[in-house]
Chains A and B, each alone.
Chain A
């Protein structure tokens, strides 16, 4: 235990996407008094986007992130469509809903098992488990088929041989044996088994993206619809075609559709039989984390999953709004176009604004000058009184807000969604914790699991509708009317948005003479991981870490738990935009 105040540095924060650094000031008792969150990598994708064809933008924007691999593609095509008042066919809307939903289910399961689990699960302790008792535990919480003593014994042997071989690879130097690990050996072994199961499961279920988008990661999108033409006719082989008998023109054929149905089944089974029961079982040993990592208490959603059109916000499955100070009785309206609502600040970021570092700018007027003023590498500490991150600080009407699964579940409950309310009530009752436990590290992680269950179930409805449309003869997937840039107005601007797995994501585009004049993304992890603003208000990570006590300051497992509960995506969070036409970028390029 530390006997003096000190600065704890965690860099790299691993098991996340991207480059994140946390500097935490602790008091002599090891409690965090101030945390500073820093993104340490920048690429400048929005500068790169300027002057290009808006129809190409999705491919560039999508490379902001390869984990939440389709969300920036979606936000980008929607931004162009919003600017042009461009409607897409019903089938394309359904295909996008299915792709977004598939991303949620895939991403959240991988987050839980591969990025977050090792904060709660001690792999070494799993070696002490009794496989028979593990089997009894597994069968008591789920009907999942792989639950025999032999199965768990095999997994344990595999891990044991790996450890005894001495080459520990990714498991080397973990905080194994840390006093904050509370699971019994059997729960540890069950979780390790499901870590491996989930790795195998995930590579199959992404095939929904492959059928609709040609590959995963980075499936293809299209302004005006979906690229995957529907091929209902079986082609016949022979010299006149490129096909062998029985094949058809595209991957979206009867076989592809049946494969999608199978994957939806596989997703629902895994969520119902593995992910939900594991979350509840593990959470039961960590109820104290229902009072840790609370954070801001302000939440924002943009909304997503339209019934027919993105222009019909009322039809969204996930509603839009802001909740302030944990008050679920009042949902505030959000307007993405209003210049006084969403603004970005750079008081503690490595950027300059022409009007001074204290001001905030709406994304349509966003400007960026990269200006690194941090210490020259290699360095020990950042100067957190000054600028300390490549992330900006977005604010809604001046409020720091949290985005993500917890924000969405709260918004669904606040707006009276009965399915969401049922799941939340069931979870609180099962864990025997008060409703305040939602506002915590535990609540954030549980909310992610619960929304996965909701969305996996919604997928069947969209799939049924798609099949019904095709049966009725509607195979349209693309609206050609505004494809040609000569049909566009001289200037147009729009905001495209989605609820990405990590939270509300929006891209703002200004189109002039058929080219991108300005492009700006404000992304979930910028809302959550951004630095303090000019008023000194913490970002969501910073607020959530404040007051957390570290059992061992040299092994800050507690920091990882709370940061991972947000599922950081830092490549997403760091972004830069340029002002209209002016070259404000002052970068020395060798």
Chain B
């Protein structure tokens, strides 16, 4: 093996900064500033922060990132490969040093183990630890192993040297589908196992890629994590319900509902509330950021929101059963009449706001 492709010892060579790398690739300062401003805006930071972020990122060494896959389906990884801003290859080449990622890395077996251990040693105290999948705790963790070791032991060991942990997806954030009733393997969230490190939860099944890239950019810029709510989610992306920001919301307010999946209402984009949409109780950015470069999101493609970024959404009743209005704060019953629709809509918005305020306060 050529020496140039062996893992580098810490600090033995000049490391190009992000700014130098981008300049070498012909990315103009202006283009980079535009990217940083867009991220800042998406994260609800003041406009001036775009410049700060651009300057900070341009000077940063690429931080070491280790991504551990536990009880997962690789959907979270697939989602990140669909990231448009920045792209996955842009991230790997210019933003982070992805030192462990089983789906993408060239090395396997003993060589991948060596790469993981080397990265943890070289970057002790500084690396970001990303986890997708829940942590099996049943049978002392024997339900999920890599290299003959339990996920549980990997997590507790790697957490010690991590600057912070990012739980990618609903499984790592809240336990997700492995934890769904009756939770056969004792699946737990990362935050159930690790108590002494900052943890960001990026729920979603899978999460929207820009939420992860936004958090990474924030970390690169400020050396800290963005503002989180009481469930550990970045407020910038999880501050509103899907329903609050849904383009079909005016129909809800008018009491215009699709009654089945291909009736006139469905084709005209009327509200999917009666078909089981969980948008009113789901905090995520699908309705604003949308999916796959703004192409669509579940409601725009005719299916109600499953609520996939909420804790224990798998156990909250059928995806096709309309939410009981009382569940989110109003005694009004739903009807087709516009007046009722407006009343329910107002109550819904109010209740949702109150709930997020409560979450924010940690009540």
A and B interact: yes
Interface of A toward B, CB cutoff 8 Å: 9-19, 21, 40-45, 47-48, 52-53, 55-56, 59-60, 63-67, 69, 110, 114-115, 118, 123-124, 157-158, 161-177, 196, 199-200, 202-204, 206-207, 209-220, 222, 224-225, 227-233, 235, 240-243, 247-252, 256, 259, 370, 372, 374-380, 475-478, 480, 483, 554-556, 560, 571, 576, 585, 587-590
Contact B106 A589 (CB under 8 A): no
- Contact A40-B144, Cβ < 8 Å, known A173-B106, A214-B291: yes
Contact A211 B109 (CB under 8 A): no
* Residues on the A chain within 8 Å of B78, using CB: 66-67, 69, 216-217
* Residues on the A chain within 8 Å of B150, using CB: 377-378
Give the residue among A214, A477, A590 with the most B Cβ atoms within 10 A.
Answer: A214
Contact A17 B74 (CB under 8 A): yes
Residue of A whose beta carbon sits closest to that of B119 = A172
A212 to B296, alpha carbons, bound, how many Å? 9
Contact B111 A235 (CB under 8 A): no
Q: What are the 6 closest A-B residue pairs judged by CB atoms, nearest first? A: A66-B75, A249-B269, A44-B184, A174-B106, A214-B298, A214-B301
Asked if B131 is at the interface of the complex by the 8 Å CB criterion, the answer is no
- Contact A161-B8, Cβ < 8 Å, known A200-B87, A225-B262, A252-B302: no
Residue of A whose beta carbon sits closest to that of B25 = A158
Contact A19 B104 (CB under 8 A): no
Q: Would you give the shortest CB distance from A47 to chain B, in whole angstroms?
A: 5
- Contact A214-B297, Cβ < 8 Å, known A12-B108, A56-B318, A167-B97: yes
Give the residue among A19, A56, A158, A247 with the most B Cβ atoms within 10 A.
Answer: A19
Contact B267 A250 (CB under 8 A): yes
Q: Would you give the shortest CB distance from A298 to chain B, in whole angstroms?
A: 28
Contact A378 B301 (CB under 8 A): no
Contact A65 B89 (CB under 8 A): no
Contact A175 B301 (CB under 8 A): no
Q: Would you give the shortest CB distance from B302 to chain A, in whole angstroms?
A: 4
Contact B4 A124 (CB under 8 A): yes
Asked if B2 is at the interface of the complex by the 8 Å CB criterion, the answer is yes
Asked if B194 is at the interface of the complex by the 8 Å CB criterion, the answer is no
Give the residue among A41, A45, A48, A55 with the most B Cβ atoms within 10 A.
Answer: A41
A556 to B319, alpha carbons, bound, how many Å? 47
Q: Would you give the shortest CB distance from B343 to chain A, in whole angstroms?
A: 18
Residue of B whose beta carbon sits closest to that of A119 = B106
- Contact A42-B74, Cβ < 8 Å, known A174-B107, A243-B247: no
A233 to B268, alpha carbons, bound, how many Å? 8
Given contacts A9-B110, A18-B74, A248-B269, 5 further A-B contacts (CB under 8 A): A41-B71, A42-B144, A48-B314, A110-B81, A210-B296
Contact B269 A48 (CB under 8 A): no
Asked if B250 is at the interface of the complex by the 8 Å CB criterion, the answer is yes
Contact B74 A571 (CB under 8 A): yes
* Residues on the B chain within 8 Å of A222, using CB: 261, 303
Contact A168 B301 (CB under 8 A): no
- Contact A210-B104, Cβ < 8 Å, known A9-B109, A63-B73: no
Residue of A whose beta carbon sits closest to that of B252 = A242
- Contact A477-B103, Cβ < 8 Å, known A19-B146, A199-B87: no
Asked if B177 is at the interface of the complex by the 8 Å CB criterion, the answer is yes
Sample 10 A-B pairs with CB under 8 A, ordered by A number: A41-B136, A66-B72, A110-B81, A167-B64, A169-B99, A214-B299, A227-B301, A251-B296, A560-B108, A587-B139
Contact A59 B306 (CB under 8 A): yes
Q: Which among B98, B149, B319 is the interface contact of A170 at CB below 8 angstroms? A: B98
Contact A379 B148 (CB under 8 A): yes
A534 to B58, alpha carbons, bound, how many Å? 60
Contact A59 B297 (CB under 8 A): no
Asked if B327 is at the interface of the complex by the 8 Å CB criterion, the answer is no
* Residues on the B chain within 8 Å of A377, using CB: 140-142, 145, 148-150, 153
Asked if B83 is at the interface of the complex by the 8 Å CB criterion, the answer is yes
Contact A231 B141 (CB under 8 A): no
* Residues on the B chain within 8 Å of A173, using CB: 6-7, 106-107, 111-112, 114-115
A555 to B83, alpha carbons, bound, how many Å? 33
Q: Which among B98, B142, B182 is the interface contact of A374 at CB below 8 angstroms? A: B142
Contact A47 B251 (CB under 8 A): no
| Beta-carbon contacts under 8 Å, B276-313 to A | 286, 291-293, 295-303, 306, 308
Contact A13 B292 (CB under 8 A): no
* Residues on the A chain within 8 Å of B295, using CB: 207, 210-211, 251, 259
- Contact A220-B103, Cβ < 8 Å, known A14-B112, A18-B74, A478-B260: no
Of the stretches B13-21, B41-49, B226-234, B348-356, the one at the interface is B13-21
* Residues on the B chain within 8 Å of A374, using CB: 142
* Residues on the A chain within 8 Å of B262, using CB: 225, 229-230, 475-478
* Residues on the A chain within 8 Å of B76, using CB: 66
- Contact A251-B301, Cβ < 8 Å, known A167-B15, A173-B7: yes
Residue of B whose beta carbon sits closest to that of A227 = B303
